[in-house]
Amino acid sequence: MIDRFIVPDKYVITSVLKACGPCFALREGKEVHCQALKLELSSNRSITMKPMEIYGKCGEFDSARKVFDKMTERDVVASTIMINCFLDHGLVKKAVQVFDRVRVKDTVHWTAMIDGLVRNGEMNMAMEMFREMQKDNVRHNEVTTIVCVFSACSQLGALELGRWVHSYIGRIELNHFVGGALINMYSRCGDIDEAERVFATMKERNLITYNLMISGLAMHGKSIEAVEIFLGMIKQGILFCRLVLPLLLF
């Protein structure tokens, strides 16, 4: 298209940039970004966001930061892209720096940080971030944020903190994401009875939920209960995977 001297518009540039992201096409992404700058299309929001995302995915942090710093309006999407850019590559301190500079933080910012900290093994920092979130009276995302927090509690063995978070979320209906995270947390923190109570109250269960419950019971030597849950899973028509069987043969 360029070779034929046809000038691309913002829609073409945006489409090509979107295509570069998933396949980590850094060189091509840079070329398209340069074309956008030459055509003075960089003021377009999508054309600004996509190069930053491409640079971040490919580890070109300086390039991503330059795009971010030149933005006149850094909205929640832009700052979250930058935060995830660093967290995805284990650069926790740089992510925290970007996060701290955001004046008005919403649940998207907090969730991105908590999730990224858990993924990077920074469990204590993740829990401290959740506490700060509560102090700021930020309404949490009842799925993503809470699942991340329970994951951190599980790996830290922080039973009392996990109980506090459980009571904090109140009596929301437990879907298989939150319920599964709770079962895993209580099982790994030593309170298998509470894990069973959570399982019993769940209206929505899937293979992962059953596997977590069976695994927890097996971990605590409750073989009869584990078999009963397994048989209940079969009655519900849920196909088990071969990873479940070794848990029952102990």
From first CA to last CA, the distance across the chain in angstroms is: 65
Residue 128 lies in a domain: no
Using one digit for the tens of pLDDT, what is the confidence trace for 23-59? 556 777 677 667 666 666 666 677 778 888 888 888 8
Q: Are 20 and 2 in contact (CB under 8 A)?
A: no
Total domains present in the chain: 2
Using one digit for the tens of pLDDT, what is the confidence trace for 55-80? 888 888 888 888 888 887 777 888 99
Range of the domain at 14: 1-73
Cα 221 from Cα 229, distance rounded (Å): 14
Using one digit for the tens of pLDDT, what is the confidence trace for 155-170? 888 898 889 888 877 7
Cα 225 from Cα 214, distance rounded (Å): 8
Lowest mean pLDDT across 6-20, 137-151, 180-194? 6-20
Percentage of the chain beyond pLDDT 70 is 76
For the entire predicted model, the pTM comes to 0.69
Q: What is the pLDDT of residue 24?
A: 58
Mean pLDDT of 201-205: 88
Q: Single out the residue in 73, 102, 120 at which a domain terminates.
A: 73
Token output for 66: 């330059």
Using one digit for the tens of pLDDT, what is the confidence trace for 87-99? 999 999 999 999 9
State yes or no: pLDDT of 197 exceeds 70: yes
Q: Count other C-beta atoms under 10 Å from residue 210's C-beta.
A: 23
Q: Single out the residue in 12, 43, 73 at which a domain terminates.
A: 73
Q: Single out the residue in 73, 103, 131 at which a domain terminates.
A: 73
Q: What is the pLDDT of residue 5?
A: 46
Residues in CB range of 113: below 8 A, 6 or more apart: 83, 87, 95, 96, 99, 129
